[in-house]
Amino acid sequence: MAILPRDVADLERSGYRFVGGHKHGAVKICHWTRKSLLDRGVCYKEQFYWRELGVRSHRCLQLTPSLPFCDHKCVFCWRNVEVTYPSWVGGVDGSAEILSGAVQAQRQLLSGFKGNPNTNMRKWVEAQEPKHCAISLAGEPTIYPEVSGLIEECRKCGMTSFLVTNGLHPEVLRDMAEPTQLYISVVAPDRETYEIVCRPQVQGGWRKLNESLELMPSFSCRKVIRLTMVKGLNLKDAAGYTKLIERAKCDYIEVKAYMHVGFARARLSLENMPSHGEIKDFAAELAGEGGYEIVDGSEPSRVVLLKR
């Protein structure tokens, strides 16, 4: 087991449930899943992608196959990056075990909503059978040796899949099964900013990220570049980001504000969180530079969607 028992206990107290015998897979109920079950709103992914992909917040399964493993320690990450390793350590649970265990754990975590009089019971029943898998909870999923199998398992179960990667494993992307939607996080317009913001734990991170961006056009699935913007650090140089985005030839760009929550509060201040207006302004700069247009936005999540 790569993660210490005390860290497992801390994470479980904060809402995580580990799946598999080696405790590298985990699930956690998303804030927006809870809100949707109570008819108090939905996440921006449902708002942006429901019509085309059928994504619904109350039927989303937020999981990771690789919680203790990430080769970045990004300053804006809300997770406890001190419990992660830059490469795989220990045994590996199979992809079918990870997915089935995550579904069971999610059902247990949602069981309390059945007794809440404010719960939309139709949604609660539907939530017992997730239809969308967000492979993005914590850690870097492409470090998991069976990530391709996990994507295939989602497909076999009739689930759409969103895979979010930091782009440091182009050798995995070359041979990986295609998810429904592939995200690569790009959070710096240049190498110097990348080193400051992402704090890579391996050599050649910037080069590997650029290799992954160059691979992106070879994917036939929907492709997204995600920019997490931190005021005073990487909310700058739209032209620099545009050069990277042009290599990827992505279908969408999500420009999202750093949110001052979780462990990130120990590294950054509230002043580092851009307003929705600042995100909109920067998105407009990107649109002007790269031939994309702004097509949607969510003020609660401080995110703007651009489409080619």
Two structure tokens written together for 172: 């995995």
For Cα atoms 247, 250, 251, give the angle at the middle one, nearest 5 degrees.
Answer: 155
Sheet holding 293-298, edge to edge: 17-19, 25-27, 60-64, 132-135, 160-165, 181-185, 222-229, 252-257, 303-307, 293-298
The pLDDT confidence band at residue 6, using thresholds 50, 70 and 90, is confident
Q: Where are the alpha helices (DSSP H) in 70-138?
A: 95-110, 121-127
pLDDT of residue 126: 96
Answer whether 240's CB lies under 8 Å from 246's CB: no
Asked if residue 15 has pLDDT above 90, the reply is no
Residue labelled with tokens 């479980």: 12
% pLDDT > 70, the chain: 99
> In the predicted model, is pLDDT for residue 1 greater than 70?
no
Per-residue confidence (pLDDT) for residue 132, from 0 to 100: 95
pLDDT for 12 equals: 78
Q: In a 3-state reduction of DSSP, which class is residue 42?
A: coil
Beta bridge partner(s), residue 257: 229
pLDDT confidence of residue 80: 79
Which residues, including other chains, have CB under 8 Å from residue 245's CB and lie 6 or more apart?
A: 186, 225, 253, 286, 290
> How far is it, in rounded angstroms, from Cα 128 to Cα 61?
10
- For tokens 């210490």, what's the residue? 4
pLDDT in tens, 17-58: 999 888 899 999 999 999 999 999 999 999 999 888 889 999
Q: 142: phi > 0 → left, psi -120 to 50 → alpha, else beta; which?
A: alpha
pLDDT of residue 213: 97
pLDDT digits (tens, 9 = 90+) for 65-121: 999 899 999 999 888 788 788 889 889 999 999 999 999 999 999 999 998 999 999
Crossing angle of helices 95-110 and 147-156, rounded to 10°: 60
Question: Could you tell me which of 180, 177, 204, 179 has the C-alpha nearest to residue 191?
Answer: 204
| Residue 51 burial (C-beta neighbours within 10 Å; 0-12, 13-18, 19+) | exposed
**Helix, strand or coil, per DSSP, at residue 196:** helix
Structural domains of the chain sorted by starting position, each given as residue range(s) with its CATH number in brackets: 5-307 (3.20.20.70)
pTM: 0.91
In 3D, which of 165, 261, 201 has the Cα closest to residue 73?
A: 201
- DSSP letters of 265-295? GGTS-GGGS--HHHHHHHHHHHHHHHT-EEE
Structure confidence by residue, pLDDT tens digits, 287-308: 988 789 999 999 999 999 999 8
Q: How many residues does the chain have?
A: 308
**pLDDT tens column, 269-291:** 999 999 999 999 999 999 988 78
pLDDT digits (tens, 9 = 90+) for 134-173: 998 889 999 999 999 999 999 999 999 999 999 999 999 9
